[in-house]
Amino acid sequence: MARDLRLFYYFRLLATSYLWLPIFVAFMQERGLGFNEVMLLSALYSVVVVLVEVPTGAFADRIGRRQSMMAGALALVASGVVAYFAHSLLVFAIAEVLSAVSMSLCSGADSAYLYDMLAANGRTHEYPQREGTASAWHQAGSAGAFAAGGLLGEVDLALPYIATAVVGVFAFMIALRMGNDHHEPVKAPAQTLGSELRSYVEHMRQATRDLLNSKRLIWAIAYSAVVFVLLRATIYLYQPYLKDRGFGIAETGFVFAGVYMVATFVAHQGDLLRRMLGERNLVWGLLATLALSFMLLNQIAGQWALCLLLVQAIANGLYSPLVKPMLNREIADSRRRATMLSMESIVRRIAMGVFSPIAGFYGHSSAMYLCGGIGLMGIILLALSSRSANLLQRSNSFPGPSVAAGPVTESD
């Protein structure tokens, strides 16, 4: 298990190391796109994820989590190459589609692989800690990629895309060396194409039934969607925000790197913070902090603005170690785990798909206030729904059957 766990961390380090992320708005604008078109591409990305997330989750459950991760790495390579040569909205759209497919193939499959690896060795109680460590590797990879992307972008804004494609090749090679899945893939009883499709549909129908029967899982997914929109929005808003305040391409890359280095540290300590402060306190504190920070960003400048970015970096680091255990412990049947996690991703992406064109219409400055409003409204609606469904407990654990004084048994 030690070898596979180490390789899994390496995969998390590389699979989402997007060197183009600190410069992609500037790159697309240099190639003739406006900010509203950039946000439309963001909406397209979300639409594609919604369309392919559950089928790719079922693919991971039925064919193999490792195989899905390998395919996702190859799709990342293709996305980077296409974007490098893009000069029109259409070609950028193709790159976005490939990027969305890449993310969907890895999303859920990687966490399900980790959980089942631990379960096969009788160590599911370690999942929150291991997921936090994996998130820290992911954040560290992102930080290094952003710093390198900013430096490469200072030379040529297209270079980070080719560099990302190279990173995708290494991620594929690592996934290839990982051990086989630690669960028994769901086998189709029939060999005909029609029977195979019906089997996939039945698998997804059962996963949907499991989801609808769990109010606690529905609440956790709704919470995840609100926080995800706010954190994802920073990817699009930080670049023009920093540009307006005099930051160059390389400096923007270093700011992104610094933000994610902080997130790396927080993610690594996520399980400790969850046990010390309690899930319920972190759940509400994270969302309230995000909402307030967005409301204040346009009002201040200089070092105080960087302090607010630091606050949002802390929230970014907490997101995965906090939310994934909440989600995973409510999934009873591991055979449909990747599929149900894909459903959670669909909800998040639908929310982002709705937000993106609205933000593009109003512009990046007004979108800051929009994010703050979403955070405040989310707090109100989530609090009302948790009370009406009797989800909030007096203990520090939320939502779940046990007090968050120690590791929980499921997470992602």
Which of 156, 150, 166 minimizes the C-alpha distance to 22?
150
The amino acid present at 366, given as its one-letter code, is: S
Q: How many domains does the chain have?
A: 1
Q: Is residue 408 part of a domain?
A: no
Q: Is 99 left (phi over 0), alpha (psi -120 to 50) or beta?
A: alpha
Q: Is residue 401 part of a domain?
A: no
**E strand residue ranges, 204-314:** none
Token pair 């995708």 in the structure block, residue: 168
pLDDT confidence of residue 392: 44
Confidence (pLDDT) at 193: 56
Rounded to whole angstroms, how far apart are CA atoms 269 and 277?
12
Q: What is the pLDDT of residue 397?
A: 44
pLDDT (tens digit per residue) in 138-185? 878 888 999 999 999 999 999 999 999 999 999 999 999 988 776 555
Can you give the pLDDT at residue 87? 95
DSSP state of 334: G
pLDDT of residue 391: 52
Which pLDDT belongs to residue 152?
Answer: 96
Distance, in Å, from the CA atom of 163 to the CA atom of 159, rounded to the nearest integer, reads 6
Tell me, yes or no, whether 395 lies in a domain. no
Residue 189 lies in a domain: no
CA dist., res. 318 & res. 345, Å (int): 17
Q: Which of 387, 395, 124 is nearest to 274 (CA)?
A: 395
Within a domain: 393: no
Residue 91 domain-assigned (yes or no): yes
Angstrom distance (rounded) from CA 148 to CA 141: 11
**pLDDT value, residue 276:** 86
In this structure, what token pair is assigned to residue 312?
Answer: 């949002």
d(CA 64, CA 184): 9
CATH number at residue 282: 1.20.1250.20
Q: Read out DSSP for 42-78?
A: HHHHHHHHHHHHHHHHHHHHHT-HHHHHHHHHHHHHH
Which contacts (CB < 8 Å, 24+ apart) does range 188-192 have? 188/62
Could you tell me the two tokens for 36? 């509203």
- Report the C-alpha gap between 247 and 277 in whole angstroms: 36
Residue 113 domain flag = yes
pLDDT of residue 408: 28
Q: Which residues of the chain have pLDDT under 50?
A: 188, 190, 389, 392-412
Residue 72, token pair as written in the block: 């996702």
Asked if the structure places residue 410 within a domain, the reply is no
Residue-number span of the structural domain to which 52 is assigned: 2-182+204-388
Sequence-ordered list of residues with C-beta below 8 angstroms from that of 377, at least 6 positions apart, any chain: none
What pLDDT, on the 0 to 100 scale, is given for residue 388?
52
**Cβ(109)–Cβ(63) under 8 Å?**
no
Q: Looking at residue 364, what is its pLDDT?
A: 83
The pTM is what?
A: 0.74
